[in-house]
């Protein structure tokens, strides 16, 4: 087995374990209220491999939470193969992808994805890591955003192969809706095609995966019991529309999964269960909703005081 193939096996084992830990932590929140649990589906990819999708729907805390693990094999189309490193078209991809949509508009939506992909075989084989995590609040709370970014900055600073400033900027640029001229959320980190020093990068990816829960769950704890009304819920559903627009128009993971024959239910699990589109709705100046829009401008959150 080549070093890259062994790395794929090791990465898959880690991602599978991480899926279990994240689901268990999210179910802990639900057990405080109504005990909602994840449904699990084992599935096979049409060209080899498969995955384990876990989705929680209609929870008291999380309206929808999807945590997907996959390890699939196949061949890229000529067009897709030409856009990626390595020779040949055979690929192997493993990763974990998750999106959490809380019921309360006071609790942010969060996304994370970590993956390892190999392409080709023999001397021309290439392999690379990618991933990241970003936060999408509906109401701005400075301490939450600063906390989220500080966790990722600390993770990056422990690993010379990672560059927080670059990954943060990459995230700001990636999770952006050009047609709206608007960021999807307040960012985090994003990286892709990291194809050198695989052992060192894998150590960074594991550190990042291990710190997803410390980055997010303290925010849930702080906001879970804050009151809200119909107006706040309506705003949340409107902002979720932006989330849907990004995932269907621009998200690389969505496009990759669909173009490689992936399981549609697993790929589209990132979509929220309820959403609305109004018409030319703009929050009034001075409102909490307008404050949230203003906070979508990229800035050095980790360096801000609370």
Task: Tell me the catalytic residues.
Answer: 111
Q: Kindly write down the DSSP assignment for every residue of 110-169, as one continuous string.
A: EEEEEEEEEES-GGG-EEEEEEEEEEE-SS--HHHHHHHHHHHHHHHHT-TT--HHHHHH
CA distances from 12 to 5, 8, 44, 141 (A): 11, 6, 15, 35
Q: What is the structure's pLDDT at 261?
A: 77
Which class for 204: exposed (0-12), middle (13-18), buried (19 or more C-beta within 10 A)? buried
> Is 85 or 145 the better-scoring residue by pLDDT?
145
Q: What is the pLDDT of residues 161-193, one digit of tens each?
A: 999 999 999 999 999 999 999 999 999 999 999
Cα dist. 21→16, 30, 59, 97, 247 in Å? Answer: 9, 15, 18, 13, 25
Backbone angles phi, psi at 229, to 5 degrees: -125, -165
Confidence check: pLDDT of 103 > 80:
yes
Mean pLDDT of 35-50: 91
Sketch out the chain's domains with CATH numbers.
3-303 (3.40.1500.10)
* The pLDDT value given to residue 1: 44
């Amino acid at each position: 087995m080549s070093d890259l193939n062994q790395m794929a096996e090791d990465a898959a084992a880690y991602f599978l374990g991480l899926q279990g830990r994240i689901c268990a932590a999210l179910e802990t929140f639900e057990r405080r209220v109504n005990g909602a649990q994840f449904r699990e589906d084992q599935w096979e990819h049409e060209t080899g491999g498969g995955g384990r999708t876990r989705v929680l729907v209609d929870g008291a805390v999380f309206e929808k939470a999807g945590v997907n693990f996959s390890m699939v094999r196949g061949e890229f189309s000529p067009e897709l193969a030409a856009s990626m490193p390595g020779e040949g078209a055979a690929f192997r991809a493993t990763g974990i992808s998750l999106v959490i949509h809380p019921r309360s508009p006071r609790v942010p939506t969060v996304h994370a994805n970590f993956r390892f992909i190999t392409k080709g075989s023999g001397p021309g084989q290439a392999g690379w890591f990618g991933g990241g995590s970003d936060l999408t609040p509906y109401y701005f709370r400075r301490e939450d955003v600063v906390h989220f970014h500080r966790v990722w900055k600390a993770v990056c600073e422990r690993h010379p192969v990672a560059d927080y400033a670059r990954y943060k900027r990459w995230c700001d640029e990636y999770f952006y809706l050009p047609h709206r001229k608007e960021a999807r959320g307040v960012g985090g980190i994003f990286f892709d095609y990291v194809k050198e020093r695989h052992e060192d990068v894998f150590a960074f990816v594991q550190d990042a995966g291990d710190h997803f829960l410390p980055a997010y769950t303290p925010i849930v704890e702080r906001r879970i019991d804050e009151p809200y009304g119909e107006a706040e819920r309506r705003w949340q559903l409107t902002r979720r529309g932006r989330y849907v627009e990004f995932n269907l128009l621009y998200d690389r993971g969505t496009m990759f999964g669909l173009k490689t024959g992936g399981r549609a239910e697993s790929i589209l699990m990132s979509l929220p269960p309820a959403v609305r589109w109004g018409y030319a709705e703009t929050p009034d100046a001075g409102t909490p909703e307008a404050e949230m829009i203003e906070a979508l401008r990229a800035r050095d959150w980790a360096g801000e005081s609370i």
